[in-house]
Amino acid sequence: IKLKARMKGGRNMGDWFKRAVVYQVYPKSFMDANGDGIGDLRGVTEKLDYIHELGANVIWLNPIYKNSGVDGGYDISDYRAIAPEFGTMEDFDELLRQAHARGIRIIMDLVVNHTSTEHAWFKESRADKDNPKRDFYVWRPPFEGGVPNGERSVFSGSAWEKDEATGEYYLHMFAKEQADLNWHNEQVRQSVYDMMRWWLDKGIDGFRMDVIDMIAKPEEALASDGGPHRNVSTGPKEHLYLREMNREVLSRYNMMTVGETSSATVESAADYANLDGSELSMIFQFQHVSVDEAPKYKWCTDPLYLPKLKRVFDKWETGLYGKAWNSLYWNNHDQPRIVSRFGCDSDEASRVRSAKMLGACLHMMQGTPYIYQGEELGMTNYPLKSIDESLDVESINAYHELVEEKHEMTPEQMMACIRRKGRDNARTPMQWTAEKNAGFTQGKPWMPVNPNHTVINAQAQVGDPNSVFSFYQKLIRVRQEYDVVIDGRFELLMPEDEQVFAYIRDDGKQRMLVICNFSDRDAVLTADAQMEGQILLGNYDEEGEKRKLRPWETRIVILKE
Ligand code: GLC
Ligand code: CA
């Protein structure tokens, strides 16, 4: 009876998300089942056993809806149809069935800040000023003959695009093919809720909500007043709309949600991800993946200064404790590969070691961990040769703006930045085997495979007790076996140390010590990080010294009483 009640609905019924380990699949680059060079849904179904073997119990699928091919599926033209390159609705239903049969839940990407300009709503909306769908999007008259205001697109250039049909401008916070929906329109919100219920009634288990902090843009940012670029995130009605969505949809299903909120702070997260379940289960904050960013834009990269990274995690772990729920991630389809970013990929031993260390550091914190495809193998950044090789609208637009228009960077400087930070790094095909195309496709892959697949691939790692894959399996098992990982308080040690990231988890019954060396040199532990206990997991075969960590070393220790 209890189980049935939990499945039926009601607020808070599912806090299963606290025990979830999410595996993120970027379908286009995961597995191609029909040889056309593009990953597809049947490919995901084929590889469910792999995900199951890793131990993840939720899959987040990047967008698989019909789209216009501009931004990796984030430009949706039909929310209720599968993109033909990914397969059919039957393929989706089969994937869902097969996943559920293995105890794996599936959450989908919900992209409702904007639609493709090829969406039927937009086609109607642009037709004429009196169209009933006109107000579904953000239309403004010109200001003094030009753009309504100085609002900038995240993907470079003005956020306003003139539409010849009516002479007005529509807003696009991303590519010009991605028109922003007007969430202040009640009908827009109801249409979105309908669509969400349609998928949930099909049996999906939740949503990852794309740029959800942008939906409630403050009216003044949208005025045709010639004003400057303003912050459109977390507008005054943001939480109002999410609470409405929660009442109308989320609270009626046994589901999990995670909002992508790059503007979130610990304070706003206490609302977004509050434990009474009136908004979202959790959010993705961006502060820890911004620590190596110079102030101006993501393209300037500062070297990692470890105390800064620790401060961010400490703030989130202690700030949300008992109030809201954290998500934990290093990677996704927008971020460079973590082993190339905060670890070391220049030699094989360091790559394996640092990939494990980074996994341990993240997975033993409080929150729901997300593993991005290939992270469990320690996949690395891609050695992009020139901008012509890039397939990412963000990188391409930024290159044109910063190199060709504004001359802020030389081509070489910009390419160095794109190689470090660009989104192509995450999107090269999954490396299954050492064979041709890494076993991803029998055809010609839509995007080049990283040449290092001959060394870094799933076939070589599954079953090898020393592989990164096996280490991630063990991390997941530790999480399942030790409640302290779920519930314990977080306490940072050695906050100012520039090499060591060390912390304790403590749930009143057990104490766990996690120590990580973020450098390629030996590191000395202070007394408070040298406690006696049982080592559950480490990344060196030979036991080391208690007061010293070797390069990239990590240890997870259950402390003696
Ligand atoms: C999110 C997605 C990203 C996409 C953007 C616009 O940040 O993760 O891939 O380009 O939103 O939808
Ligand atoms: Ca295919």
The CA distance from 295 to 379, in Å, is 28
User: Residue 215 has which token pair?
Assistant: 């939906």
273 CA from centroid of ligand 1 (Å): 20
Ligand 1: which atom is nearest the Cα of residue 394?
10
- Indicate the top mutation candidate among 210, 213, 263, 421 to test ligand 1's pocket, ranked by most ligand atoms within 8 A of CB: 210
Nearest to 143 by CA among 227, 87, 84: 227
pLDDT in tens, 367-400: 999 999 999 999 999 999 999 999 999 999 999 9
Per-chain mean pLDDT for the chain: 96
Helix (H) or strand (E) segment spanning residue 442: none
Q: Which ligand is nearest to the CA of 44?
A: 2
For residue 13, is pLDDT > 60? no
Nearest to 134 by CA among 199, 182, 184: 182
- CB 553 within 8 Å of CB 353: yes
- Indicate the top mutation candidate among 107, 174, 258, 394 to test ligand 1's pocket, ranked by most ligand atoms within 8 A of CB: 174
In this prediction, residue 298 has a pLDDT band, given cuts at 50, 70 and 90, of confident
Ligand 1: which atom is nearest the Cα of residue 75?
12
Please tell me the residue having the least CA distance from ligand 1 atom 12.
74
142 CA from centroid of ligand 1 (Å): 28
Q: Which ligand is nearest to the CA of 215?
A: 1
- CB 62 within 8 Å of CB 25: yes
Residue 435 falls in the annotated catalytic set: no
Ligand 2 ion: Cβ-proximal residues, 5 Å cutoff? 32, 34, 36, 38, 40
- Indicate the top mutation candidate among 60, 70, 71, 424 to test ligand 1's pocket, ranked by most ligand atoms within 8 A of CB: 71
Ligand 1: which atom is nearest the Cα of residue 155?
10
Q: 243-264 burial, b for 16+ CB within 10 Å, e for fewer?
A: eebbebbbbebbbbbbbbbbeb
- CB 220 within 8 Å of CB 227: yes
Amino acid at 276: D
308 CA from centroid of ligand 2 (Å): 42
For residue 66, is pLDDT > 50? yes
439 CA from centroid of ligand 1 (Å): 28
> pLDDT at position 6, please?
39
pLDDT in tens, 85-136: 999 999 999 999 999 999 999 999 999 999 999 999 999 999 999 999 999 9
Query: Span 197-213, mean pLDDT?
Result: 98
Residue 210 falls in the annotated catalytic set: yes
The CA distance from 424 to 536, in Å, is 36
Ligand 1: which atom is nearest the Cα of residue 423?
9
Please tell me the residue having the least CA distance from ligand 1 atom 3.
334
Options 260, 279, 292, 394, the catalytic residue: 260
85 CA from centroid of ligand 2 (Å): 6
Q: Which stretch of 1-15, 107-121, 172-186, 397-411 has the lowest confidence by average pLDDT?
A: 1-15
pLDDT in tens, 402-414: 999 999 999 999 9
- Largest Cα separation within the chain, whole Å, is 75
In this prediction, residue 10 has a pLDDT band, given cuts at 50, 70 and 90, of very low
- Indicate the top mutation candidate among 25, 64, 74 to test ligand 1's pocket, ranked by most ligand atoms within 8 A of CB: 74
Q: 392-423 burial, b for 16+ CB within 10 Å, e for fewer?
A: bbbbbbbbebbbeeeeebeeeebbebbbbbbb
The CA distance from 71 to 179, in Å, is 12
Ligand 1: which atom is nearest the Cα of residue 174?
6
57 CA from centroid of ligand 1 (Å): 24
Ligand 1: which atom is nearest the Cα of residue 262?
7
Nearest to 179 by CA among 162, 164, 202, 203: 162
- CB 271 within 8 Å of CB 239: yes
The CA distance from 21 to 31, in Å, is 21
Unique residue bearing structure tokens 């007061």? 547
User: Measuring CA to CA, how many Å separate 310 from each of 378, 466, 509, 533?
Assistant: 22, 28, 25, 24
For residue 174, is pLDDT > 50? yes
Options 40, 109, 205, 210, the catalytic residue: 210
In this prediction, residue 296 has a pLDDT band, given cuts at 50, 70 and 90, of confident
Binding pocket residue ranges, ligand 1, CB within 6 Å? 71-72, 74, 111, 174, 210-211, 260, 333-334
440 CA from centroid of ligand 2 (Å): 10
User: Measuring CA to CA, how many Å separate 559 from each of 281, 377, 505, 514, 534?
Assistant: 31, 29, 10, 10, 6
pLDDT in tens, 208-225: 999 999 999 999 999 999
How much is the pTM?
A: 0.96
26 CA from centroid of ligand 1 (Å): 12
